[in-house]
Amino acid sequence: MKTVITYGTFDLFHEGHYNILKRAKALGDYLIVGVTTENYDASRGKLNVVEPLMDRIEHVKGSGFADKVIIEDYVGQKIEDIQKYHVDTFVIGSDWLGKFDYLKEYCDVVYLERTKGVSSTLKRAEEFQIIRMGIVGSGRIAGRFIAEARYVSGIHVEGVYNPHSESAREFAKVHELDMYEDDYDAFLKKVNAVYIASPHETHYEYAKKALEYKKNVLVEKPMVLRKEEAEELFRLAEDNGCILMEAIKTAYAPGFMRLVNMAKSGLIGEIKDVEACFTKLTGDNTREFMDKEYGGSFTELASYTVLPIIKILGCNYRNIVFNYYNVHNGLDGYTKAIFDYAEATGTSKTGLKVKSEGQLIISGTRGYIRVAAPWWKPTEFEICYEDISQNEKVYAPFKGDGLRYEISDFVSQVNGYGGDVFKLTQEESVTIAGIMERFLMEHRKRIK
Ligand code: CTP
């Protein structure tokens, strides 16, 4: 009996997939088809796969050519599968020509001509309108967004808005954007979604107006600095049938979701403490320190440190105590916020003028999870126990600057698939806005 194997994502199953399975089967007696997991696709940068794994498997089975379907979850697995299933022939489309020659050591490798004019990428483009994104603000993060958006299909950055025409023009030139505007209304008419990356305190007005124009909105963190504003924006988004999403990149990173879920699975017992620290030494002449009203360590960095606390311990804390060290202009150079929960405690440490060990530690009654800096871009974490021989390391993908994950989830939400809302819920964004508001209120009162 001759065994043939082939692999693919098989998203939105199409004629090209059908043809390759048919021809693969004809090359032998028994066909094994490997279908990629979401996790594997994310790790190799294939974002925006529309259909869940089980649906993709069903379609492969539905073709009637597969005698066995297996799941492909990591680079190099093909070598293992070929040996395990005594495969005679490996088949793949001609788009991969030469890429799998290393398998010739184990079996025959056949590249079959691709079916012309059809692909999952094309089908996704046909099915969903390309999101024409406009960027509000032209700072550092806006530039990074453009670079990262190139890794996500279904979205195109159209142009930039800045009330200072010269800054907008310069940014558009550097990033090769066709459009720049200093008139917000005119700008909104040219796009169907916006990414708001302007100074914190301007987010609310920009987001509100964009939603009134029925545009989908992705807002940099902190989304807003008042709880009521967050609630109002979410209401407006719902009323106008738009997506409103807060861009805390960590929330959408594959590794972060995994560590939160592992922590909550009972692996380390009942969770009693979540401690998160993020410090980044910054000069006095930066936006973070020039903005005397809304700048400082907490507003700048606490969206990151508060995130694991509320994701794991919930939004219903009993109290927060803020302790801080203020610098010459009255802004907090370092803030330690202690969260009191009925059954646990949380600590957020943020610093722009104090350097500390930036780690995330989740402590439970049986063990703890440790994520070293930069835990906000998690690539690995360790589960630790009293008996250190039981310790275990977990690895996760995190590519580039990592904005691609939130961008990809934004695209899925706008297109109405993916169900990624749980990664950062409305309640969580509203809670973070409330915490920012409380910090600013208390901090102002105390420095007066
Ligand atoms: N394939 C093919 N003809 C096509 C499209 C895909 O023969 N028109 C083959 C690929 O070469 C591969 C298999 O089908 O062997 C699974 O490919 P997959 O990556 O799932 O499909 P694509 O349509 O190429 O997906 P995408 O556009 O997302 O890259």
**296-351 tens-digit pLDDT:** 999 999 999 999 999 999 999 999 999 999 998 899 999 999 999 999 999 999 99
Task: Clarify whether residues 386 and 265 are in a common domain.
Answer: yes
Indicate if the pLDDT at residue 92 is higher than 60: yes
Which atom of ligand 1 lies closest to the CA of 95?
11
Q: Give nearest CA residue, ligand 1 atom 1.
A: 16
What is the rounded CA–CA span in Å between residue 115 and residue 23?
11
Residue whose structure tokens are 């994310």: 42
Paired strand residues for 370 = 361, 382
pTM value is 0.88
Q: Is the residue at 438 inside a domain?
A: no
Task: Clarify whether residues 83 and 100 are in a common domain.
Answer: yes
Task: Clarify whether residues 90 and 48 are in a common domain.
Answer: yes
DSSP string, 210-273: HHHTT-EEEEESS--SSHHHHHHHHHHHHHTT--EEEE-HHHH-HHHHHHHHHHHTTTT-SEEE
For 183, the domain range is 131-247
Tally of CB atoms within 10 A around 263: 22
What is the rounded CA–CA span in Å between residue 361 and residue 215?
39
Using DSSP, state whether 413 is helix, strand or coil.
helix
Which is more confidently placed, 291 or 428?
Answer: 428
Assign residue 238 a region: left if phi > 0, alpha if psi is -120 to 50, beta otherwise? alpha
For ligand 1, is residue 171 a contact (CB within 6 Å)? Answer: no
Q: What is the mean pLDDT of residues 206-218?
A: 98
Total domains, the chain: 3
Q: Is the residue at 429 inside a domain?
A: no
What is the CATH classification number for the domain harbouring 366? 3.30.360.10
What is the rounded CA–CA span in Å between residue 307 and residue 125?
33
For ligand 1, is residue 115 a contact (CB within 6 Å)? Answer: yes
Q: Is the residue at 379 inside a domain?
A: yes
What is the rounded CA–CA span in Å between residue 97 and residue 111?
6
Task: Clarify whether residues 370 and 258 are in a common domain.
Answer: yes
Task: Clarify whether residues 268 and 350 are in a common domain.
Answer: yes
DSSP string, 60-108: HHHTS--SEEEEE-STTHHHHHHHHTT-SEEEEEGGGTTTTGGGGGTSE
Cα end-to-end span (Å), the chain:
84
For ligand 1, is residue 153 a contact (CB within 6 Å)? Answer: no
User: Which has the closest alpha carbon to 37: 18, 54, 58?
Assistant: 54
> Best substitution site from 7, 9, 72, 152 to test ligand 1's pocket, by max atoms within 8 Å of Cβ?
9
Task: Clarify whether residues 389 and 273 are in a common domain.
Answer: yes
For ligand 1, is residue 17 a contact (CB within 6 Å)? Answer: yes
Which atom of ligand 1 lies closest to the CA of 20?
7
What is the rounded CA–CA span in Å between residue 160 and residue 180?
5
Single out the residue in 219, 247, 275 at which a domain terminates.
247
The pLDDT of residue 448 is: 57
Single out the residue in 215, 247, 279 at which a domain terminates.
247
What is the CATH classification number for the domain harbouring 8? 3.40.50.620
For ligand 1, is residue 9 a contact (CB within 6 Å)? Answer: yes
Q: What is the mean pLDDT of residues 268-277?
A: 98
Q: Is the residue at 119 inside a domain?
A: no
Task: Clarify whether residues 161 and 73 are in a common domain.
Answer: no
Q: Is the residue at 351 inside a domain?
A: yes
**13-59 tens-digit pLDDT:** 999 999 999 999 999 999 999 999 988 988 887 888 889 999 999 99
> Best substitution site from 55, 94, 119 to test ligand 1's pocket, by max atoms within 8 Å of Cβ?
119
Element (DSSP H or E) covering residue 409: helix 403-415
For ligand 1, is residue 36 a contact (CB within 6 Å)? Answer: no
Task: Clarify whether residues 175 and 293 are in a common domain.
Answer: no
Residue 280 pLDDT grade (very low, low, confident, very high; cuts 50, 70, 90) = very high
Q: What is the mean pLDDT of residues 400-426?
A: 90
Distances (CA, A) of 375 to 41, 52, 251, 360, 382: 22, 28, 11, 6, 11
For ligand 1, is residue 367 a contact (CB within 6 Å)? Answer: no
Task: Clarify whether residues 21 and 72 are in a common domain.
Answer: yes
Using DSSP, state whether 36 is helix, strand or coil.
strand
Distance (Å) from CA 341 to ligand 1 centroid: 50
Q: Give nearest CA residue, ligand 1 atom 4.
A: 16
Using DSSP, state whether 275 is helix, strand or coil.
strand
For ligand 1, is residue 92 a contact (CB within 6 Å)? Answer: yes
For ligand 1, is residue 109 a contact (CB within 6 Å)? Answer: no
Give me the count of residues in the chain. Answer: 448
Task: Clarify whether residues 69 and 141 are in a common domain.
Answer: no
Q: What is the mean pLDDT of residues 70-76?
A: 94
Q: Is the residue at 402 inside a domain?
A: no
Q: Could you tell me which residues come within 8 angstroms of residue 331 by beta carbon, excluding any fewer than 6 positions away?
A: 289, 292, 295, 296, 297
CA dihedral over 82, 83, 86, 88, signed as positive or negative: positive
Distance (Å) from CA 80 to ligand 1 centroid: 22
> Best substitution site from 120, 124, 128, 408 to test ligand 1's pocket, by max atoms within 8 Å of Cβ?
120
The pLDDT of residue 447 is: 65
DSSP string, 177-218: -SEEES-HHHHHHT-SEEEE-S-GGGHHHHHHHHHHTT-EEE
Q: Is the residue at 21 inside a domain?
A: yes
Single out the residue in 224, 247, 270 at which a domain terminates.
247
Indicate if the pLDDT at residue 379 is higher than 70: yes
What is the CATH classification number for the domain harbouring 235? 3.40.50.720
Q: Do 60 and 66 contact (CB within 8 A), yes or no?
A: yes
Based on its alpha-carbon atoms, the radius of gyration of the chain, rounded to whole angstroms, reads 25
What is the rounded CA–CA span in Å between residue 90 and residue 107?
7
Task: Clarify whether residues 275 and 386 are in a common domain.
Answer: yes
For ligand 1, is residue 133 a contact (CB within 6 Å)? Answer: no
Distance (Å) from CA 408 to ligand 1 centroid: 20
Distance (Å) from CA 48 to ligand 1 centroid: 15
Task: Clarify whether residues 230 and 264 are in a common domain.
Answer: no
What is the rounded CA–CA span in Å between residue 400 and residue 410?
18
